[in-house]
């Protein structure tokens, strides 16, 4: 039905780290994703936490670099880590630029040709992937959380703010909080969505939080030695937007930490605890 296939599975902290592929309708082609099943999954359904990776990353990046499995096994969390875009699209202009196209789907549903058929990562993450996960893995979709890094942090924040009823928790590492106002977003959003800034606002966390707050506290960690901090990330804009909207936000700044997975792995335990608590595991 969905062309689901197992690419590999390995034992990991008493559970299973697997990599999978299926035929996606949202992205009109094959999509890959990773799933970590904790040992508790053998006994029954577990809460599920989606991790959205950043620019240039794949479904393997967080699974290999983030160091999340040990704590996921301890808490009983299923981790789902999709790829960041469709691949091998054959679309001119979709490769060769690390800030746009393949590996840089920005978690939007494109409306502009030639990207509209394949680049629908928003719909993929919100609708298609959870339905597939529920069919193939022992997950409790009523207890779902979402987090991510950089472009993926942007994806996690915007998705949680647009669908607060679907997620009990949200957090981000060094997210792009205002793509409408920074070079990464101003480069990608017109190509995917056109020049109408009203369409951009649907994928801008600073704009969204002013429309709809999230029930829980949003956790954000940001390294102060991040080379993208001033030009691309601008967490102070989201801090201000949350204050104006009355949205609880825990924004933590960390001297000496950059944008890498050394930063993410350092604070991954705090994020998993944040989600485990909200999902009723602590």
Q: Which of 219, 96, 108, 100 is nearest to 159 (CA)?
A: 108
Q: Is 273 helix (H, G, I), strand (E, B) or coil?
A: helix
Please give the Cα distance from 221 to 175 (Å, whole number).
9
| Residue 274 falls in the annotated catalytic set | no
| Residue 254 falls in the annotated catalytic set | no
Task: Select which of 150, 204, 221, 274 is catalytic.
Answer: 150
Please give the Cα distance from 105 to 127 (Å, whole number).
16
Residue 10 forms beta bridges with which residues? 17
Please give the Cα distance from 138 to 268 (Å, whole number).
23
Please give the Cα distance from 78 to 215 (Å, whole number).
22
Task: Select which of 22, 259, 274, 275 is catalytic.
Answer: 259
Give the list of residues 6+ apart from residue 4 with CB closer than 8 angstroms, or none: 20, 21, 22, 132, 136
Task: Select which of 149, 171, 226, 274 is catalytic.
Answer: 226
| Residue 83 falls in the annotated catalytic set | no
Catalytically active residues are 150, 226, 259
């Amino acid at each position: 039905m969905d062309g689901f296939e197992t690419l590999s599975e390995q034992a990991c902290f008493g559970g299973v780290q697997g990599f999978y592929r299926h035929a996606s309708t949202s992205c009109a082609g094959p999509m890959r994703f990773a799933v970590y099943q904790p040992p508790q999954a053998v006994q029954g359904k577990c809460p599920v936490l989606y991790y959205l990776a950043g620019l240039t990353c794949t479904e393997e990046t967080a699974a290999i670099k983030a160091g999340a499995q040990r704590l996921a096994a301890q808490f009983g969390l299923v981790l789902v880590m999709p790829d960041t875009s469709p691949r091998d699209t054959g679309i001119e202009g979709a490769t060769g630029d690390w800030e746009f196209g393949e590996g840089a789907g920005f978690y939007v549903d494109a409306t502009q040709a030639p990207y509209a058929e394949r680049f629908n990562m928003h719909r993929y993450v919100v609708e298609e992937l959870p339905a597939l996960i529920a069919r193939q893995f022992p997950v409790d979709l009523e207890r779902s959380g979402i987090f991510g890094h950089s472009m993926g942090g942007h994806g996690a924040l915007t998705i949680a703010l647009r669908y607060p009823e679907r997620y009990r928790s949200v957090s981000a590492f060094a997210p792009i909080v205002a793509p409408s106002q920074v070079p990464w977003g101003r480069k990608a959003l017109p190509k995917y969505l056109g020049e109408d800034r009203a369409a951009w606002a649907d994928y801008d966390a600073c704009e969204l939080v002013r429309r709809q707050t999230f029930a829980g506290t949003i956790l954000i960690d940001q390294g102060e030695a991040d080379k993208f901090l001033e030009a691309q990330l601008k967490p102070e804009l989201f801090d201000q937007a949350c204050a104006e909207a009355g949205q609880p936000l825990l924004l933590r700044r960390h001297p000496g930490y950059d944008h890498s997975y050394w930063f993410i792995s350092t604070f991954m335990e705090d994020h998993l605890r944040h989600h485990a608590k909200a999902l009723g595991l602590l």
